[in-house]
A and B are shown apart, each in its own frame.
Chain A
Amino acid sequence: KAGVTQTPRYLIKTRGQQVTLSCSPISGHRSVSWYQQTPGQGLQFLFEYFSETQRNKGNFPGRFSGRQFSNSRSEMNVSTLELGDSALYLCASSPGQGTNTEAFFGQGTRLTVV
């Protein structure tokens, strides 16, 4: 079974630009969550999608948005990039049928804002 795939692996963007990151979950998984990981804050929850609907949202500004497609693939978008948005962005998939399931993480997208 293929794992969670995130593209691209690395990105360098300029302040003020926008960026779109992609996540393909494990086949059959309907829940996709996004996390931002920085050395100072650790892993922080951004949002979670299940069957194309956002079920949960973390405490991030509206510049961070996401969506999920009918095939469960998900994208997240960050507009008007700031230097502080530099981080490892991780996507995790799970079956989504219950709450006590493990999350399968992708390798992440390393975003650098200059």
Chain B
Amino acid sequence: SQKIEQNSEALNIQEGKTATLTCNYTNYSPAYLQWYRQDPGRGPVFLLLIRENEKEKRKERLKVTFDTTLKQSLFHITASQPADSATYLCALEHGNNRLAFGKGNQVVVIP
């Protein structure tokens, strides 16, 4: 069956450190993968998109890698700040304009 797995345990991290989140998937062949941020009671906000032929993408303090052999994406937040505390969702392309989401991984940055 198709699965998208993100760590269900919250990641508690000290301010200034790098947070690394993992997204593993099974039985998908996504042409691209996206990462979103969601704050409580709000809709997800797009952060980054990485295509299957790209190994790495960066945007400011964010970095995403995509390994189609391992069927895994890693999401890094460098120099983390308390304002980065949120739930981060990975989403796979799953057909024409359709996304399949993981359940998300909560990040808590401790000042």
- In the complex, whether B99 has a CB less than 8 A from a CB of chain A is yes
As a 0/1 sequence over residues 64 to 96 of chain A, the CB contacts with chain B under 8 angstroms (1 = contact) are 000000000000000000000000001010101
Q: In the complex, are the beta carbons of A100 and B96 less than 8 A apart?
A: no
As a 0/1 sequence over residues 69 to 90 of chain B, the CB contacts with chain A under 8 angstroms (1 = contact) are 0000000000000000000010
Count of chain B residues with a beta carbon within 8 Å of a chain A beta carbon: 26
Mark out the residues of chain A between 22 and 51 whose CB falls within 8 Å of any chain B CB in the assembled complex. Answer: 31, 33, 35, 41-45, 48, 50
- In the complex, whether B101 has a CB less than 8 A from a CB of chain A is yes
Give the secondary structure class of A's interface. Answer: strand
Q: In the complex, are the beta carbons of B89 and A45 less than 8 A apart?
A: no
* Closest CB in chain A relative to B28 CB, distance in Å: 13
Mark out the residues of chain B between 87 and 110 whose CB falls within 8 Å of any chain A CB in the assembled complex. Answer: 89, 91, 93-104
* Closest CB in chain B relative to A35 CB, distance in Å: 8
CA distance A106 to B46 in the complex (A): 12
- In the complex, whether B63 has a CB less than 8 A from a CB of chain A is no
Q: In the complex, are the beta carbons of B44 and A90 less than 8 A apart?
A: yes
Say whether, besides A42-B104, A102-B46, A108-B43, A56 and B93 are in contact (CB < 8 Å).
no
Q: In the complex, are the beta carbons of A99 and B43 less than 8 A apart?
A: no
CA distance A45 to B104 in the complex (A): 15
- In the complex, whether B10 has a CB less than 8 A from a CB of chain A is no
Q: In the complex, are the beta carbons of A33 and B98 less than 8 A apart?
A: yes
Q: In the complex, are the beta carbons of B97 and A48 less than 8 A apart?
A: yes
CA distance A52 to B94 in the complex (A): 21
CA distance A80 to B46 in the complex (A): 33
25 CB contacts below 8 A, A to B, read A4-B43, A31-B97, A33-B97, A35-B101, A42-B89, A42-B101, A43-B101, A44-B101, A45-B94, A45-B98, A45-B99, A48-B96, A55-B97, A56-B95, A99-B31, A99-B32, A99-B93, A100-B31, A100-B93, A101-B97, A102-B34, A103-B44, A103-B99, A105-B43, A105-B44
